[in-house]
Amino acid sequence: MLQKLEEVKKEFDSGVGLVGSMPDMAQFKADFLGKKGKLNALMGGMRDLSVEEKKSFGARANEVKQEMTDAIDKRSQDIELEAINAKLAKNKLDISWTDKIKDLGQQAAGLHPLTQVTRELEDIFLSMGFDILDGPHIEDEYHNFEALNIPESHPARDMQDTFWFKDKKHLLRTHTSNIQIRGMEQKKPPFKFVGPGKVFRCETLDASHEAAFHQLEGMMVGKDIAVPHMIHFLRTLLSEIFKREIKVRLRPGFFPFVEPGFELDYECLLCGGKGCSVCKQVGWVEGLGCGMVHPNVLSGGGIDPNKWNGFAFGLGIDRLAMMRYHIDDVRHLHSGNLQFSEQFKTY
């Protein structure tokens, strides 16, 4: 009997390491330790043994049972670990991919210059404590015009500028200023946020005009905010993005949602101020519209204009990218031409 027990143990020992999966392990365990397993079959024969033999056999059988249970647990753990490792090996992320792709003569993806500039702008504003908001491309009349103090008769609503939907109530936003309204709906003053995005205007296309272009809206509302604060933020922004001091000029500008309103131009970096097709030969480019938020806009947004004030601005991102990367025609940006966009690849 004892010899048979040792044989069963031997058989177990040589088999347990070969079990490769958890279902197989369940079967293996049943074969040896189950009710109808080999160990129980031997125990069944115990009644024919003498008291002495029963004792020694019983003791050894218990030992064997314990050893088998331990070995099964250990092997089960190994099986699970092997499965995890196999999964990891299969889903491995190879961070040397750019070199490999180049070796294979394939093209690696990169960020579009507009995306690069937008992310840089966001980083600069985040570092100045601004939040980043989003707003819809398809907008209603209220958020694009009415809430921005743009009355129905205002020329900005002209059919020529705006892409309207058939229902005459919805449109493709003509500026990111809808984000001012959406922001005021979410936030209680004081707050400061920016919102970058695509805007759409029914324009005649040329080197400096696209029907879909990009703006970054900014709004800061608090106590005792004045024009110099606004100029400070805008100057910081431009010198950060161009990595040097840059000449700007401020002109009065009319936007119904700010009072006073300004247009900020910066020197054309493409021609160094001499005049070219992008700056329409004047040496300056229209960089952004800005001003102190109109009281009507604040009160429409549920903010008491006697307690709070602030500034807003809308910056043209496409032109900024053009200056930054010396691109002489805005239409390149949307051309989808890989030869063009590959020049700005960063890894």
Q: Is 171 in the site for ligand PHE (CB under 6 A)?
A: no
Scanning 25-33, 254-262, 300-308, 333-341 for contacts with ligand PHE by CB under 6 A, the matching segment is 254-262
Scanning 102-110, 203-211, 228-236, 311-319 for contacts with ligand PHE by CB under 6 A, the matching segment is 311-319
Q: Is 290 in the site for ligand PHE (CB under 6 A)?
A: yes
Nearest distance, CB of residue 224 and ligand PHE, angstroms = 19
Q: Is 135 in the site for ligand PHE (CB under 6 A)?
A: no
Nearest distance, CB of residue 156 and ligand PHE, angstroms = 9
Q: Is 173 in the site for ligand PHE (CB under 6 A)?
A: no
Q: CB nearer to ligand PHE: give 215 or 322.
A: 215
Q: What is the 3-state secondary structure (H, E, C) of the chain?
A: CHHHHHHHHHHHHHHHCCCCCHHHHHHHHHHHHCCCCHHHHHHHHHHHCCHHHHHHHHHHHHHHHHHHHHHHHHHHHHHHHHHHHHHHHHCCCCCCHHHHHHHCCCCCCCCCHHHHHHHHHHHHHHHCCCEECCCCCEEEHHHHCHHHCCCCCCHHHCCCCCCECCCCCEEECCCCCHHHHHHHHHCCCCEEEEEEEEEECCCCCECCECCEEEEEEEEEEECCCCHHHHHHHHHHHHHHHHCCCCCEEEEECCCCCEEEEEEEEEECCCCCCCCCCCCCCCCEEEEEEEEEECHHHHHHCCCCCCCCEEEEEEEEHHHHHHHHHCCCCHHHHHCCCHHHHHHHCCC
Q: What is the x/- site pattern for ligand PHE, positions 260-289, by CB under 6 A? A: -x---------------------------x
Q: Is 314 in the site for ligand PHE (CB under 6 A)?
A: yes
Q: Is 177 in the site for ligand PHE (CB under 6 A)?
A: yes
Nearest distance, CB of residue 294 and ligand PHE, angstroms = 9
Of 255, 266, 308, 344, the residue at the interface with ligand PHE (CB under 6 A) is 255
Scanning 50-58, 137-145, 312-320, 334-342 for contacts with ligand PHE by CB under 6 A, the matching segment is 312-320
Total chain residues near ligand PHE (CB under 6 A)? 11
Residues contributing to the site for ligand PHE (CB under 6 A): 175, 177, 255, 258, 261, 289-291, 312-314
